[in-house]
């Protein structure tokens, strides 16, 4: 069993929003690893970062991604930093992976002051700029498809992603 598609990209790319819409269009389930992590931890992501630390979040994330990649058959959205882990990147090989790309201006507009995203809690613009530069090669490495989202409405992006999945 494997997800119909795995969505990756930086915070604000629209992985959660587009993933839900694509799953709806395909008539399949939708899962977001961040939601599963919150359920497992019994608390929201910012609380995990504050109380347990980022390494604890990343360990939980690695386990949840590995599990869902082998057992989930709907559309799966990952958290933006999941691809930082080398073992996760290896596990993505052979999957249909859609990189939703977004540049700094739109990413910042979409995440605002970073509420709910602990990495962006301080200096959201500078942090986002750094994350985009650091991670772009990794998103590209794991992607089988890339969809540009800047200046586009979610509905239009979802139609493009659904079409490239052959549906």
Ligand X SMILES: O=C(O)C1=C[C@@H](OP(=O)(O)O)[C@@H](O)[C@H](O)C1
Say whether 17 counts as a known binding-site residue.
yes
Say whether 43 counts as a known binding-site residue.
no
Residue 45 touches which of ligand ADP, Mg ion, ligand X, none (Cβ within 5-8 Å per kind): ligand X
- In the sheet that holds 5-8, the strands lie side by side as 30-32, 75-77, 5-8, 97-101, 145-148
Which stretches within the chain are classed as H helix?
15-26, 33-41, 45-52, 54-71, 86-92, 104-111, 124-142, 154-164
Q: Which is nearer to ligand ADP, 89 or 110 (CB)?
A: 110
Say whether 33 counts as a known binding-site residue.
no
Of the candidates 32, 40, 27, 38, the one whose C-alpha atom is nearest the C-alpha of residue 16 is: 32
- Within 14-43, the residues that bind ligand ADP by CB under 6 A are 14-17
C-beta separation of 114 from 61 below 8 A: no
Q: Residue 106 interacts with ligand X (CB under 6 A)?
A: no
Of the residues 16, 35, 127, 146, which one makes contact with Mg ion according to CB under 5 A: 16
C-beta separation of 138 from 88 below 8 A: no
- Within 74-113, the residues that bind ligand ADP by CB under 6 A are 80, 110
Of the residues 24, 29, 53, 154, which one makes contact with ligand ADP according to CB under 6 A: 154
Of the candidates 149, 150, 151, the one whose C-alpha atom is nearest the C-alpha of residue 21 is: 149
Q: Which residues bind Mg ion (CB under 5 A)?
A: 15-16
Annotation: binding site? 12-17, 34, 58, 80, 117, 135, 152
Annotation: binding site for Mg(2+)? 16
């Amino acid at each position: 069993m494997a997800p119909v598609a795995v969505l990756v990209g930086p915070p604000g790319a629209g992985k959660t929003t587009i993933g839900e819409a694509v799953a709806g269009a395909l008539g399949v389930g939708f899962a977001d690893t961040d939601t599963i992590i919150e359920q497992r931890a019994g608390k929201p992501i910012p609380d995990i970062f504050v109380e347990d630390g980022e390494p604890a979040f990343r360990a939980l994330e690695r386990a949840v991604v590995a599990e869902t990649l082998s057992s989930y058959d709907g559309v799966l959205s990952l958290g933006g930093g999941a691809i930082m882990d080398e073992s996760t990147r290896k596990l993505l090989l052979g999957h249909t992976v859609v990189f939703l790309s977004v540049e700094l201006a739109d990413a910042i507009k979409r995440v605002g002051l970073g509420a709910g995203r602990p990495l962006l809690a301080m200096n959201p613009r500078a942090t986002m700029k750094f994350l985009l530069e650091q991670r772009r090669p990794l998103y590209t490495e794991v992607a089988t498809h890339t969809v540009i989202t800047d200046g586009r409405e979610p509905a239009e992006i979802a139609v493009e992603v659904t079409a490239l999945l052959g549906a």
